[in-house]
């Protein structure tokens, strides 16, 4: 299986420096633990490209699982009585969550969410998609959504017949869970789109970002972020934004340490999968979909997210105030509460 990355973040970090003199011993302990976890995650990211082991999903490939429905959950499960956690678990039938990252990310981005879900007694699993995280596949060879989503497909195919999971897809990862809903509907209890590309039949994942990036045709011809892995004279094979632009698009509310982690961990994304039109049938449309909107998102604006849920209504819509495009970094506690809330919906 290779390495398994497990974290135990207790709560979001806020305005730490100014309170250091006045905090008690227990608070200092929590902050020290968080500081250690950040250093651990950053150290892990720096070593990613030196690792050659293949996990069932990959470092990034394999970390966790979760879900949730609104019930005024406390801010931190770690301080709750065991009975409270037990009561929550009794209300959750499907405890395994499969976390699917977005473009350029890897399973590493879910480290806070994995820790919180595990503390709540749930079973999170995170994968690196093909050519992402520490998966060594050359992105220039990844041309279809099926190839890009293969780690997820392999995982679902190997599930026992009577076992189901909750899928959580971030950003372009929304296309991957849509693909999974179409091909493995019997294995999926609920699908949660986290500021994600929740497309309709015949739509490309890229189309969701058209307001920010222009038409697909114009992007393919003019974008300076394209990668021509097979030579300039041939069609582009991937893309990656410059670091400063990436910070503004994805991480405008994320802690600086997590931004540093992302800057050494982000990888180019294959272009083919996001330009592919999805073929979705009743298998997809009859599945249980939920959408989580991020209200300070510069990559997929709140207006675009609202348009997505209006044109393709899910079963439930949840909102995270003050979150950028990466709520698993900027608002992990808020995200966690919503996941658990959705998980509890009968």
Per-residue three-class SS string for 31-71? HHHHHHHHHHHHHHHHCHHHCCCCCCCCCCCCCCCCCCCCC
Q: Which of 297, 301, 330, 336 is catalytic?
A: 297
Q: Which of 38, 170, 183, 325 is catalytic?
A: 325
Whether 125 and 57 have beta carbons less than 8 Å apart is answered as yes
CA distance 84 to 74: 10
CA distance 152 to 179: 10
Active site residue 128: no
Eight-state DSSP code of residue 162 = T
Output the CA–CA distances (angstroms, integers) from residue 210 to 69, 109, 113, 115, 213, in the order listed: 31, 25, 29, 34, 5
Q: Which of 171, 269, 301, 334 is catalytic?
A: 171
Nearest-CA neighbor of 272 among 101, 144, 178?
144
CA atoms within a 13 Å half-sphere pointing along the CA-CB vector of 160: 3
Active site residue 325: yes
Tell me the angle at which helices 332-343 and 111-119 cross, rounded to the nearest 10 degrees.
Answer: 50
Catalytic residue set: 171, 297, 325
């Amino acid at each position: 299986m290779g390495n398994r990355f497990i974290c135990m973040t207790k709560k979001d970090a806020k305005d730490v420096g100014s309170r250091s003199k006045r905090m008690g011993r227990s608070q200092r302990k929590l902050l020290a633990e968080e500081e250690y976890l950040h250093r651990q995650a950053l150290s892990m990211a720096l070593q990613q490209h030196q690792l050659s082991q293949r996990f069932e999903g990959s470092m990034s490939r394999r970390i966790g699982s979760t879900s949730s429905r609104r019930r005024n959950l406390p801010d931190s499960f770690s301080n709750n009585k065991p009975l409270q956690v037990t009561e929550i678990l009794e209300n959750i039938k499907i405890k395994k969550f499969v976390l699917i990252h977005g473009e350029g990310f890897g399973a590493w981005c879910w480290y806070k969410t994995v820790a919180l879900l595990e503390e709540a007694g749930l079973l999170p699993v995170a994968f690196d998609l093909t050519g992402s995280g520490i998966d060594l596949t050359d992105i220039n060879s990844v041309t279809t959504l099926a190839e890009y989503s293969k780690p997820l497909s392999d995982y679902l195919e190997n599930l026992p017949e009577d076992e189901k999971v909750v899928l959580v897809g971030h950003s372009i990862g929304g296309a991957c869970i849509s693909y999974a809903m179409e091909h493995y509907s019997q294995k999926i209890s609920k699908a949660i789109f986290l500021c994600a590309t929740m497309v309709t039949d015949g739509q490309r994942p890229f189309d969701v970002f058209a307001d920010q990036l222009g038409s697909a045709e114009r992007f393919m011809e003019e974008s300076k972020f394209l990668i021509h892995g097979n030579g300039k004279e041939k069609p582009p094979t991937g893309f990656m934004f410059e670091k400063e632009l990436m910070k503004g698009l994805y991480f405008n509310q994320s802690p600086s340490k997590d931004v540093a982690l992302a800057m050494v961990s982000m990888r180019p994304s294959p272009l083919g999968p996001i330009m592919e039109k999805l073929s979705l049938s009743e298998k997809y449309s009859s599945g249980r979909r939920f959408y989580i909107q991020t209200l300070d998102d510069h990559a997929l604006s709140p207006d675009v997210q609202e348009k997505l849920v209006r044109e393709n209504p899910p079963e439930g819509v949840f909102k995270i105030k003050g979150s950028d495009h990466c709520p698993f970094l900027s608002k992990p506690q808020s995200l966690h509460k919503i996941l658990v809330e959705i998980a509890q919906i009968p």
